């Protein structure tokens, strides 16, 4: 088979790689206003789920459409989650400043709740991109999935914090990772996370065939 044929593995790989690069750039641009981060993440996951499921479509057009369709709900959820995240952050700082047994105990509690918060945050926008639901039910389902699929949740969190861990261990790696994250990093890591999400979501999807 000709490797440049549209049916060849090579062509499909290059096509998917190109889509990931387009999605990564669109994602970064749409995150710039900050308050649009939720809509950007939702749109990214919407398209990544389609790529994982090998559904055809134009990456840029699909991203923009998903961004518009989910803007209201995803923005509200983003504001809620950002506010909760700020509370956890300052609680951890406060417990650290307190010192002593009480401070150490509170720090452990807040760190545990913070990890649970990050787990829910990891699921909520991918759920929103795939299922129509109320904001409350989306948050609730994100919580139960994060807890119910704990081993997979840990895998997702590892993928998401991998760049930060590398930079923490090797600060100079930041300058090497920066161009990678700018071109392919977010959509690339998101793609591997989406493989896990798709595995979980298939159990809740109606037969679409």
Comparing C-alpha atoms, which of 59, 48, 22, 60 is closest to residue 194?
48
Per-residue pLDDT at 208: 47
Per-residue pLDDT at 107: 85
pLDDT digit string (tens) for 51-99? Answer: 999 886 789 999 999 999 999 999 999 999 999 999 988 888 888 888 7
- Domain edges within the chain: 9-201
Enter the tokens of residue 50. Answer: 């389609």
Sign of the dihedral defined by the CA atoms of residues 11, 64, 44, 180, in that order: positive
pLDDT digit string (tens) for 10-45? Answer: 778 888 999 999 999 999 999 999 999 999 999 999
Per-residue pLDDT at 1: 52
- Using a 10 angstrom Cβ sphere, with 0-12 exposed, 13-18 middle and 19 or more buried, the burial of residue 129 is buried
Percent of the chain with pLDDT over 70: 94
Average pLDDT (144-163) is: 95
DSSP state of 172: G
Enter the tokens of residue 151. Answer: 């081993």
More confident of the two residues 111 and 122: 122
Please state, in angstroms and rounded to a whole number, the distance separating the CA atoms of residues 179 and 100: 43
Please state, in angstroms and rounded to a whole number, the distance separating the CA atoms of residues 159 and 130: 21
Sign of the dihedral defined by the CA atoms of residues 65, 70, 72, 74, in that order: negative
Phi/psi for 99 (5° steps) reads 70, -175
* Cβ atoms of 130 and 194 closer than 8 Å: no
Average pLDDT (110-121) is: 93
The predicted model scores a pTM of 0.91
DSSP helix/strand/coil, 133:
coil
Per-residue pLDDT at 24: 97
Residue with tokens 């998917």: 16
Per-residue pLDDT at 108: 87
């Amino acid at each position: 088979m000709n490797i440049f044929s549209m049916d060849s593995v090579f062509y499909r790989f290059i096509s998917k790689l190109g889509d990931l690069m387009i999605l990564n750039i669109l994602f970064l641009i749409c995150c710039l206003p900050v308050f649009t981060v939720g809509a950007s993440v939702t749109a990214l996951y919407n398209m990544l789920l389609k790529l994982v499921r090998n559904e055809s479509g134009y990456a840029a057009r699909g991203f923009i459409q998903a961004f518009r369709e989910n803007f209201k709900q995803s923005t509200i959820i983003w504001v809620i989650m950002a506010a909760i995240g700020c509370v956890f952050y300052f609680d951890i700082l406060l417990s650290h400043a307190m010192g002593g047994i009480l401070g150490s105990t509170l720090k452990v509690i807040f760190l545990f709740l913070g990890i649970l918060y990050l787990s829910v945050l990891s699921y909520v926008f991918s759920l929103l991109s795939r299922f129509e639901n109320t904001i409350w039910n989306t948050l609730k389902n994100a919580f139960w999935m994060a807890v119910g699929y704990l081993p997979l949740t840990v895998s997702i969190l590892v993928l998401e914090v991998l760049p930060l861990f590398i930079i923490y261990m090797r600060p100079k790696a930041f300058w090497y990772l920066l161009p990678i994250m700018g071109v392919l990093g977010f959509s690339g890591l998101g793609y591997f996370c989406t493989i896990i999400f798709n595995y979980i979501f298939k159990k809740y999807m109606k037969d679409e065939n």
